[in-house]
Amino acid sequence: MRQQIIKWVKRNWESYAVFQPAMPVHELMWLQHHVGTPLQEREHREPWGDSPESRLVAYSKVCDKIYLSDTEMMVFASMMYEKNLPLLFRVWRVTGPNQERGELVHTLPDKAFYTQSGLTEAIVIDIAHTGRVDEASAHYKLLSTSSLRGLTSCHSCKRERE
């Protein structure tokens, strides 16, 4: 799956993702995987530069090693939307001694995009974000509650882990 996302990103490098029409894909990747990394990590990497071309060279050097993030979830949702397969990622922050509590952090894409487009159903992919935020222990995990659901049922829910 990673390779398909990377191919899409490179193919659409100077285009705009359907769910983020405010900036081109290269800016999203630059913000997430260069500007958004801690300064001590950036000091050991080459600068990405200001042009789409220089950013593509820099991204190509690290794309197989970077942690996938919300940006890649949005890219994957864009890929599937182009194939008429709407996806909705629900990202939960999982807490508690046994990770038994979850709180909805956000959805990708924003649910409003689908409802304004007249779509009422999508494949819902529930993702738990666990570990300390912005540290090596942080990661995403697919939850068993992912399913095909009407979008009206997922806009402001809290969930207890089963």
pLDDT at 159: 38
pLDDT at 158: 40
Task: With CA atoms as reference, report the closest residue to 51 among 33, 68, 26.
Answer: 26
Alpha helices of 12-157 — where are they, by DSSP H? 25-30, 39-42, 52-62, 70-82, 111-116
Q: Which contiguous run of DSSP H or E holds residue 35?
A: none
5-60: pLDDT as tens digits = 999 999 999 999 999 999 999 999 999 999 988 888 888 888 999 999 999 999 99
CA pair distance 26, 129, nearest whole angstrom? 25
136-161 pLDDT, tens digit each: 556 787 777 665 444 444 443 443 33
Q: Are 94 and 102 in contact (CB under 8 A)?
A: yes
